[in-house]
Amino acid sequence: MFGTAATTTTAAAAAAAAANTAQAARTDLLCAFRRNTIASSSSWYHPIACIQVHSPSLWSSCGGPIRAMAESQTPSVSKDEAQPSYPGNKQALISLSDKKDLEFLGNELQELGYMIVSTGGTATALENAGISVTKVEQLTSFPEMLGGRVKTLHPNIHGGILARRDQKHHMEALNKHGIGTFDVVVVNLYPFYDKVTSTGGINFEDGIENIDIGGPAMIRAAAKNHKDVLIVVDSQDYPALIEFLKRNHNDQQFRRKLAWKAFQHVASYDSAVSEWLWKQTVGDKFPPSLTVPLSLKSSLRYGENPHQKAAFYVDKSLYEVNAGGIATSIQHHGKEMSYNNYLDADAAWNCVSDFKNPTCVIVKHTNPCGVASRNDILEAYRLAVKADPVSAFGGIVAFNIEVDEALAKEIREFRSPTDGETRMFYEIVVAPSYTKKGLEILRGKSKTLRILEAEKNEKGKLSLRQVGGGWLAQDSDDLVPEDIQFKVVSEKSPQESELHDAEFAWLCVKHVKSNAIVIAKNNCMLGMGSGQPNRLESLRIALRKAGDGVKGAALASDAFFPFAWKDAVEEACESGIGVIAEPGGSIRDNDAIDCCNKYDVSLLFTNVRHFRH
C-alpha cells in the first residue's frame, strides 16, 4: 500500500514539475515579447498577432503587474505617444460574402506588410490565391459554432477592433489578455437583399438564416473606432484604401467618410430585414415605423429652379425590386436628366402605361396635353400632337409599344400642326423598347433628346409624398375602367361608342391635376382643363381646347360637381357634350341628374374619385 502510494506521489510530483516548467517557459516567452514591445516604443499600442493568453495571472508573473484602471482614472496617451503598427505587426481583418477584387486587396495588403486575418470561405479564397492568411479561430482558439452563426463574436476580435490607441487602459487591457489590434477591417454582408428578392422568393427559415449578425457587429465596431480602424464595405473603395495606406497620412476626413458609408450600409441592410420581417409577421402596408433606403443615382444640375440644388435617388425598398418605373429606366441618348425631366417623364410613363391599346401620351409640366389610342401607332402619335400642338412642343412623348423605324422617322420629321413647317421638338421620348434602327434614327434627331427605355410600374406600390416635417403614404392609384362600374343615373343611356369614350376620358382625367376635366372622343383626348381652383374654369379651358370636336364627345371629371344649374354641368350640356362621367357623391347630385335629363345628356356615376394634387 505504502509503496504504491509513494510511486503515485512521485509520478504526480514529476508531472506537476513538468507542467510548471512548461508554464514558466511560456511565461518567459510572453514576458520577453511584451518587454521588447514596450521597450521598442513609447506607445502602448502594439498589435499581438499570434499569442493567445488565457491565464489572467501570466502578466503578473513577469514582475510587472499592470492593473486595468477605470476610464475616469486612466490618463489618455498623447498623440506623440500613439504610434501606428510597425511593419510585420499590422493586422487586417477580412470577411466577405461578395469576394469581388479580393485577390487584388489581399495582395496589396500583404505587400504593405499586413498580416491578414480572415474567416471561412474568404480565408480559403485568399489561400487559393497564394496569399498568406491567419484564420479567425487561430486568434480566438474557438472553432466556428452553431453552423457558422458564431465566428467573430469574440473579445479577441472585437477587442482588437474597438480598442482606442490613445487610451492607456485600453492598450493595457489588450496586452493583459494577449489581444492584437486591427488597423483595417473589410467586411460585406450575407446577400439577404438578393436572396429575399430572388425569383420564387425564399422560405421564412432560409430568410432568417441569411440575416448577418457578426458582419454588422464588426462593421459597426470598426466604424465607431474609425479614428484608429479603417472600415471598408464596398469593393469600389479598395483602390482608395490602398492609396491611403501607401501615403500613410492621418486623413480623418477619409476615415469619417468610410465610417459613414459603413453605418449607411448596415442601416440599409437592416431596413431590408425589417421590411421583409414585417411582411412575414403582419403584412400591413403601413407599419408603425418605416425606413426607406435610398441610393444616390445622380447629382442633378439643379432642382425645380436653378437656385435649388438637387439629386436623384433610387428607392431600394424590397417592394420596388423589379417593379418598373422611371427611376430604373435606361437612358440610351441625350443630355443628363434634370429634376423636372424626371417628374415629367414619370407622369408621361404612368399615364401611357394605363392603356391597353397602342397609345401615345404627350406631357407638359406633368399634365397630359395629348392622348390618343389607335391600332396604327403613327396615327395615335399625330392625333396626340394635334390635341394641343403648342403645349406638345418641348414636351415628353411616351409610347406603350416598341418604337420601330417608321415611328422613329415620324417623331423625327413630323411638323407642327400650327404652321406645318416647324419640326416638333421634345425633351424626352420614353418607351418599353426600341428596335436597333428606330434607336439609331431617334439619336439623329437631336444631340440633346433624352431617349429612355422603361418597364411598366407594378400595381400595388406604396406611394410616398413629403410635407413639411413628415411624409404621406398611400396606395398607388391603380384603378382602370375594367375595375369599376359606370352606373347610368340619367334617363338617357349612352350608346356603346359613347360609353367607350367616357371610359377613355375617365382614364385620361385620372392623370390630370385637379381640378381636372377631360373631353374625349374616338379614343382621342380633344381638350383638358387642369389645376384650376374651381371646376367651372377647368371645364371652360377644356371646352376651348376641344373646339368643334366637343359635339357628341364624352366629358370626365376627376371629382363630383358641387353645382349643376348655371354652372359646369349645364355649360357642358349646352356646349353639346353627349355623355358625362363623374364620381357622384354631392348633396346636389339630383341637380346634375335633372340638368342632364333636360338636355338629353347621359350621366354616369363611377363612385371613384381621382383627385391629383
Residues marked as catalytic = 224, 365
Tally the residues of the chain.
Answer: 613
Residue 426 forms beta bridges with which residues?
395
CA distances from 410 to 442, 447, 485, 500 (A): 10, 17, 38, 28
DSSP H helical segments within 184-293, as ranges?
Answer: 192-196, 204-209, 214-224, 238-247, 252-281
Q: What angle do CA 327, 274, 294 make, to 5 degrees?
A: 25
Query: What are the φ and ψ backbone dihedral angles of 318, each rounded to 5 degrees?
Result: -60, -35
Long-range contacts of 383-389 (CB under 8 A, 24+ apart): 383/524, 384/360, 384/524, 384/525, 385/414, 385/416, 385/417, 385/424, 386/417, 387/362, 387/524, 387/525, 387/526, 387/527, 387/545, 388/362, 388/527, 388/545, 389/416, 389/417, 389/418, 389/424
Which H helix or E strand runs over 392? helix 389-392
Is 118 in contact with 136 (CB distance < 8 Å)? yes
| 594 grid coordinates | 335633372
State the Cα–Cα distance between residues 574 and 265, nearest whole angstrom. Answer: 63
Q: What angle do CA 169, 171, 177 make, to 5 degrees?
A: 100
Residue 167 DSSP label: B
Which H helix or E strand runs over 90? strand 90-95
Residue 73 DSSP label: G
Which H helix or E strand runs over 136? helix 136-140
